[in-house]
Amino acid sequence: MKNANPVSSLLRALMIVVLLSLTTGCGRGDATRAPTEAKTVADYFVVPVGAKSVKMQLAIKPREMEHGLMGREDLKSDEGMLFLYDAPQRMSFWMRNTPTPLDIGFFTADGVLKEVYQMYPFDETPVMSRSEALQFALEMKQGWFEFNGVKPGAKLDLKALAEAIKARGFEPKVFELK
């Protein structure tokens, strides 16, 4: 028996075509998926330092580096912020508007921890590195380096750092990382 309403048959056929076209797009590979949005300075990445894993935020853009951990009172014991520079240099940090006592560790371009200093809340006296061959600086809660036995010579896991940099939407090669 034929359907007496040709419009309903046409609508049914059209709906089937639409449904099939919508469902066939679901099985495609990663190439057709929308790219994931890059992470921000607010996101944490696990990057080992020596034998200890650290949840660190990455300060890459000038404004992020300028702001750093200002105003932060919520750092947990294994959380910190890594400041990334595109070339080795002497580093200088201060604690303007920073209420949490911090340690700062300075690393060479090959990820070796060279120097560690304490920094005190709201102290605007610059804490300057001795070396001019430093490329990364890690701020952690004061006492973290000593408590965790992370001493000069410890290495920052550059492979994990490169992956975190990519997730932030930057090219690791800018920092001479692969």
C-alpha 3, offset from chain centre: 62
How many Å from the N-terminal Cα to the C-terminal Cα in the chain? 69
Domain containing residue 57: CATH number? 2.60.120.1140
Burial class (CB in 10 A: 0-12, 13-18, 19+), 60: buried
Evaluate whether residue 35 is within a structural domain.
Answer: no
The pLDDT score that the predictor gives to residue 37 is 85
Quote the tokens at residue 145.
């380096």
Evaluate whether residue 147 is within a structural domain.
Answer: yes
Evaluate whether residue 120 is within a structural domain.
Answer: yes
Q: How many domains does the chain have?
A: 1
Indicate if the alpha-carbon torsion angle 50, 41, 71, 132 is positive or negative.
positive
Q: What is the pLDDT along the chain (178 residues), one digit of tens a residue?
A: 444 444 444 445 445 544 444 444 444 444 455 567 889 999 999 999 999 999 999 999 999 999 999 999 999 999 999 999 999 999 999 999 999 999 999 999 999 999 999 999 999 999 999 999 999 999 999 999 999 999 999 999 999 999 999 999 999 999 999 8
* Cα 113 to Cα 154: distance, rounded to the nearest angstrom: 5
Is 72 within 8 Å of 100 (Cβ atoms)? yes
Domain with 88, as residue range(s), is 45-175
Q: Which residue has the tokens 């750093």?
A: 68
The pLDDT score that the predictor gives to residue 38 is 87
The pLDDT score that the predictor gives to residue 146 is 97
Evaluate whether residue 170 is within a structural domain.
Answer: yes
